[in-house]
Chains A and B, each alone.
Chain A
């Protein structure tokens, strides 16, 4: 069975601090995909990144970066110089490569950035 664990339920930081959101996953598939989504107070889930299991290169997009480590089954997300607009719930998700395997989501981490 596939599983995603986001151990941090809530995180609060002061603006301009860096913050890392943890994601640990479990799967028996050799090919799989990992995702991060952001859910701002408006409610809509916004896609941030998709990474397949064969690509362990770290990804950087502006203030966002992702660290994928197969050895520890982790796909952590770091926000550098956090801003109030980063306040949201962030979800990590996992999908296997075989048919009929929809996304499995973690329970989310609520990030509050305080001005």
Chain B
């Protein structure tokens, strides 16, 4: 079974703090994704990566950055957390082949981040 894990289920941070959300997958997947989920807005793509050290902006990259130094790990970074970044963050991975992204995405359990 594919396993995608996220470092925390719940996280509380203060405005202005630098926040790291970690995601690890154990299936040697090429592609990894970060989404945020908000009531009424569904899932929105923040960043994704097709390979180590590669990253692509999604629909809402502002205020976020990512890092993929190893194939199995994809980190989402909030450089200076703000209250409007309070949300559920979901990581996903898919098998991938080059730059295609039509493979099934498998999701982690999510991190519910609250910024005070």
Contact = CB atoms under 8 A, between A and B. Distances in A.
Interface in B19-58: 33, 40-43, 45, 48, 56, 58
Contacts of B98: 99
A99 B100 contact: yes
Interface size class of B (residues with CB under 8 A): 20 to 34
A47 B106 contact: yes
Interface size class of A (residues with CB under 8 A): 20 to 34
Contacts of A45: 90, 92, 107
A102 B33 contact: yes
Interface stretch (A17-25, A72-80, A104-112): A104-112
B109 interface: yes
B41 A100 contact: no
Contact of A100 (B101, B110, B112): B101
B102 A107 contact: no
Interface of A: 33, 35, 37, 42-47, 50, 91, 95-97, 99-103, 105-108
Nearest to A108: B42
Contacts of A100: 56, 99, 101
B44 to A, nearest CB: 8
Contacts, number: 54
Interface in B86-116: 88, 90, 92, 98-102, 104-110, 112
A95 B101 contact: yes
Contacts of B58: 102
Nearest to A99: B99
A33 B100 CA distance: 12
Contacts of A43: 88, 109-110, 112
A100 B47 CA distance: 11
Contact of B100 (A44, A97, A106): A97
10 contacts: A35-B105, A37-B107, A42-B109, A44-B110, A47-B104, A47-B105, A100-B56, A102-B48, A102-B101, A106-B42
Nearest to A47: B104
